[in-house]
Structure formats: structure tokens, C-alpha cells
Amino acid sequence: MDVEREKRLAAEAAALLVEDGMAVGLGTGSTVSAFLPLLAERGLRLRCVATSLRTEEEARAHGLPVEPFMGVTALDRLDLAVDGADQVARDGWVVKGGGAAHTREKLVAAAADRFVVIVSSDKLVERLRPPVPLELLAYGLASTLRRLDAVSLRDAPPSPDGNVIADYHGDVADPAALSAALSAMPGVVEHGLFPPWSTSEILVAHGEDVERIVPGE
Ligand code: 5RP
């Protein structure tokens, strides 16, 4: 399996989904890095928002216009968002945040009419497994950590929103229950579990083919 080739194939398929005049959310990671030049090559008139400084800089370097997604005057909806993932299950559950951008990625995905996940075949899993990335508020961090089981702080810089990156290493057998429990925990800003209903389609490259998984179908 040539992972880089598969990333590019999935990225090519996603680039073809973008239409002139669209507002597009740009995810984070190496698969998105493959997507950005392919999108730029299409020469479309676009408005883009980025989920990380890395993506913003790469997008601009390829000539894509990136505008802020901060505050009340920013775009309030996107036509399409494209992002990578750390794990995808066939039932549509996705784990993201290996690059610590999952909070912004989840907001951009939620703003998009269509959220497309692009992955190489090594990301497809039978069942989700730990770790699940977390973003924690620095305020009250010691208390949050005491209330969370099986969580370790990641040796990573704070998120762009000033929060602490951590990982949950416990049981992931019931992602819906885990997602609800983490979301209900004060101090957890966001977690990296993306439910099936948040994703419109998952493009998985296998060798020279791209499989399209539509969660819920
Ligand atoms: C960043 C992410 C990435 O999309 C995820 O880690 C996949 O990255 P890559 O495309 O490099 O494998 O969620 O927070």
C-alpha cells in the first residue's frame, strides 16, 4: 500500500466536489496538505476558512484565499468542508485530532452543508480504538483531570484558542456513550469523536480506487 498515493487519490476526488463560488472549509493534516494544491489547480473563485495556522499558510502559499473564521462578522456557513481523519469506521464514526486541531475542525465541519472526510486505506478500522484526542480548558485543569479516567496530557503546544491538548486512552467500544460523557464533562472543550451524522461522506482510497462511504446508508 502506497499511503501517500492513496492520500492524493482521496484528495483528488474531494477536489472535484468543489464548485466555483463555494465557501470551503479546509481541515488540517498531511491529507489536507495533498488536497490544497489540487484544489488550487482548479482555478475556482472560492472563499476559504482554515482550521489551523499550518493549513492557512499552506493554502495561501498555493494561492487560495483564506479569510478569518473568528467573531460575528465571519462566514456563518460553508458549502463544503474537507478534512482528514485518524480513524474511520464503516458505521461512520470518525476519530480526529491527531494534529490537535479537532475543536476548530469540528466547528468548521458543523458550519458546512457537506462535510467530506478523505483518508488512505490504513485509516479504516473495524472498531474505533484509543486514543481519542481531547481539548481541555486550562482553567480548573487539575480538577478536570481528576474527574476524567484514563486521560494523559499530550506533549504539544496549547491550541490556537489557548487550551490544553490531551488524549483519552480508555474504552471506546461505545462511541456514542463516550462522546456524550465527554461532551457533558465541565472543562472538556471538545473531543475528537465525530458522529456519523456529522459527516456527509468518507472517501477512502484503496490502491487505485476510491471508495465512498455515506454514513447511515
Ligand atoms: C488534525 C486531524 C487530521 O485530520 C488527522 O490527524 C489526520 O491527519 P493526516 O491526514 O496527516 O493523517 O484530525 O487534528
Q: Contact, 84 vs 119, CB < 8 A?
A: yes
CA atoms of 101 and 97, how far apart (whole Å): 5
Could you report the per-residue pLDDT of 185-197, keeping only the tens digit for each? 999 999 999 999 9
Could you report the per-residue pLDDT of 66-82, keeping only the tens digit for each? 999 999 999 999 999 99
Q: Give domain 132-192's CATH superfamily.
A: ACT domain (3.30.70.260)
Dmax over Cα atoms in the chain, in whole Å? 51
Could you report the per-residue pLDDT of 79-106, keeping only the tens digit for each? 999 999 999 999 999 999 999 999 999 9
Per-residue CA distances from 109 to 61, 113, 146, 160 (Å): 23, 8, 30, 17
Give the residue-averaged pLDDT of 104-120.
98
The residue extents of the domains of the chain are 3-124+194-207, 132-192
Which fold is adopted by the domain 3-124+194-207?
Answer: Rossmann fold (3.40.50)
CA atoms of 191 and 203, how far apart (whole Å): 22
Number of H helices, E strands in the chain: 6, 14
Tell me which residue has its CA closest to atom 6 in ligand 1.
Answer: 98
Would you state the pLDDT for residue 194?
A: 98
Cβ–ligand 1 contact at 205 (below 6 Å): no
Cβ–ligand 1 contact at 28 (below 6 Å): yes
- List alpha helices for the chain, DSSP H: 3-15, 30-41, 53-61, 102-111, 141-147, 175-183
Active site residues: 105
pLDDT above 80 for 57: yes
In degrees, to the nearest 5, what angle opens at C-alpha 120 toward C-alphas 156 and 94? 60
Would you state the pLDDT for residue 1?
A: 74
Q: Which cell numbers in the block locate residue 61?
A: 502559499
